[in-house]
Structure 1
């Protein structure tokens, strides 16, 4: 059963790793150039909104973290799911890091979504025009990246649940936070 959970966790981590990389690359490589006046050109890139810059950095960092955790799953599956030594400490670290990466990714996704919504709708009080009226392809690609980011955050929440299950299997259900076998 332990090997099955590790394989499921590894599969989800591989899928979320690919989604995170896809999200970061979609945002990072997105740009569109428009001619404003006769020879004046304006290029829209992810650098125009700091929330998108932070979003790209967070997505790449989360992808690196999930790559490390995927390698942990592969190593444990290769030894037959048998965990030696004090695995409880590693399970706590994995659980807490999974929580932290999920929440930071969710926060960056929320900030990028809010900035993109502001670019799509504009703000009349500040006399900001709608950016997506001029740069439609840019906005559609950012929207697709935000959707991929949302999927990755949902899958990271499932991975965090698996991490919690793995951690709390070491503890007795009768006594709060008392290790089994003691």
Structure 2
């Protein structure tokens, strides 16, 4: 009987260590994702360039495209959610609600980054079949910052993906051990 109690204590200690390790990694990944999405939203939100095209001064900002507006708003929401959810990670780690919101956040960042990447691609390379010309030769600084911003958003996406994957693995392991 004593050996069963010892094994149970060892199992509980191992589960406690695993939970602590999971929580640390979860918080670090979520905080890093918040920083990445904050950087993405800030870079795009403050990105502006005025260029002279065919004798007209034309300003390029994130307001120039609905996809860029969605990108800024989506990354800002993802950052805000991540920061606001950090204090609740330790309390809600066993439940499904945090995982659901993390998945929704993952989808939001993926959609925002994909929309901005599509517009950025057309801006950089144009589309000869339709007659859309490249605009990045006229707005090199704007396009460069846009590329960095989109890259930051994809880093945030990968970090959110790792948070969701870790949550799923942790939940499946903890439910199997019961």
TM-score (norm 1): 0.81
Equivalent residue of 1:126, what SS? coil
Larger radius of gyration: 2
Note the aligned Cα RMSD (angstroms): 1.8
**1:106 maps to what in 2?**
110
* Equivalent runs, 1:35-50 vs 2, <5 Å: 35-38=52-55, 40-50=56-66
Q: How far off is 1:35 after superposition?
A: 2.2
Please say if residues 30 and 142 of structure 1, whose CA atoms lie closer than 8 Å, have aligned partners that are also in contact: yes
**1:21 maps to what in 2?**
38
Q: How far off is 1:37 after superposition?
A: 4.8
CA distance in 1, matches of 2:51, 2:75: 28
1:9 aligns with 2:26: yes
Residue of 34, 39, 44 corresponding to 2:51: 34
CA distance in 2, matches of 1:36, 1:95: 48
TM-score (norm 2): 0.83
Equivalent residue of 1:137, what SS? helix
Q: How far off is 1:166 after superposition?
A: 3.2
Count of residues paired in the alignment = 161
Equivalent residue of 2:176, what SS? coil
Residue of 117, 133, 154 corresponding to 1:150: 154
Runs of 4+ off more than 3 Å: none
Please say if residues 95 and 167 of structure 1, whose CA atoms lie closer than 8 Å, have aligned partners that are also in contact: no
Q: How far off is 1:87 after superposition?
A: 6.6
Higher helix proportion (structure 1 or 2): 2
CA distance in 1, matches of 2:24, 2:176: 25
**1:59 maps to what in 2?**
75
CA distance in 1, matches of 2:86, 2:127: 43
